[in-house]
Amino acid sequence: MKRREKIILGLMALVIAYGFYALFFSSPHKKTDIYAGKKSEELSRIITEISLDLSKSGPTEEDNYVIARAKSDWVKDPFLEKKASVTKEIQKPKEPEVVIPKFTFAYSGFMKMGELKIAIVNGLEYKIGEEVVPDKCVIREIYPNKVIIRIKGIKGKKGEIIVPLVEEVL
C-alpha cells in the first residue's frame, strides 16, 4: 500500500475507535436547565390567570351570534362563485315540449349466437327491431351491458331509453 492509503485507513480506524468509545463507554451528558423551575412556575401562573378570566366572563353577544349562525343552515354557499356572463345569450325559439311516457324496463340477460343478438327484457326475449311495448317501444340496439329502446313518435335522444344490465346475485 502507498503511504497515502495507509494514512486514510489509519484515520478511519481512529474514527471507528472513537465512535465505539463514545457509543458504549462514555456517559451521556445531562443538560440541566437552571431556569426550568422559574419557567414552569411562570407558565402555570399564566394558565391560571387565563382560566380565571375565561370563567369570570361568559361569551359575548358577538360570540353567541357567531355560534348561532354556525349552527343554522346556510342560504348561500360562501365558497361558490358565480361569475356573471358578459355575453348576452341568444334566445332560441322554444321547441314544443314532448311528453315522454314512463316505462319500466329490466334488462336481465344477453345472448349472442353468431350475428344474432338477443336481449332479455322484463323476462322476455327480444331481437333488434322487435316491439317491447306494442305500438310504443322498439329494441334499437343490443349490447352486452345495455339495451337501447326507442320510443315511437319521439325524435332524437329524448326518444331513447338506455337500460343497463342488471346482474342479481342469487
Q: How many whole angstroms separate alpha carbon 83 and alpha carbon 121?
A: 46
C-alpha pair distances (Å), 42 with each of 20, 34, 38, 160:
43, 14, 6, 77
Confidence of residue 22 (pLDDT cuts 50, 70, 90): confident
The helix/strand/coil state of 19 is helix
89: phi then psi, degrees, rounded to nearest 5: -75, 140
* Angle in degrees, CA 161, 162, 167, rounded to 5: 135
Segment 27-50 shows an average pLDDT of: 75
Segment 127-140 shows an average pLDDT of: 88
Q: How many whole angstroms separate alpha carbon 61 and alpha carbon 4?
A: 81
**What are the helix (H) ranges across the chain?**
3-24, 36-56, 61-71
The b/e string for 4-27 (b: 16+ C-beta within 10 A; e otherwise) is eeeeeeeeeeeeeeeeeeeeeeee
pLDDT score for 31: 62
CA dihedral 134, 140, 142, 147 (to 10 degrees): -70
- Is the pLDDT reported for residue 169 higher than 90? no
* pTM assigned to the model: 0.41
